Amino acid sequence: MNSDFNINADPRKINLLTEKFPNVDSRSLNTLVLFVQTAHEVYNGVSSRLSEYGVSIGNLKILMPLYLYDRSLTPSELAEYSGVTRSTVTSVIDKLERDGIIRRSTLTDRRMTAISLTDEGKQLMTERIPLFIQLFSDLMNEFTQEDHDLFATLLQKLSSGVERIKQE
């Protein structure tokens, strides 16, 4: 994010916005901007570290259920487990198949595609999964148990707010 337009860095910038939009709560706006900036930094930081291992967040969303369930999954199951669209899953599967990490096969009725890890994919996950988990865990190692509980509660409230504005 361009540091010239870092709203959170200067409360006066938030005040300028709330002067123009008097119905906006400056504390809510400031907190949301801080959250969005932090989420962006977390995503970029994790993405950067994962790329050092030749894996992207999108790849990991597909590889993780295959590794954890240790069986073939359909593209629809992978989309459901990973929380992404079926078309996104298809493009990630195409890339991972080209890279030799997963393979496609057909299920018994031959109408459904089954996706599974190749030996190379299993090795990648077996060797790298502890590193991935440690990376994610390290992001939160400053938190106490109370911090974790409070943060989870606040994120659930934020999620409820997102659902509410989707309905409006």
pLDDT in tens, 147-168: 999 999 999 999 999 999 999 8
Tell me, rounded to whole angstroms, the distance of Cα 120 from its chain centroid.
Answer: 24
Q: Dihedral angle at the C-alpha atoms of 49, 53, 58, 61, nearest 10 degrees?
A: -100
Global pTM reads 0.73
Dmax (CA) for the chain in angstroms is 64
The pLDDT of residue 9 is above 80: no
Over the stretch 63-101, which tens digit does the pLDDT of each residue have?
999 999 989 999 999 999 999 899 999 999 999 999 999
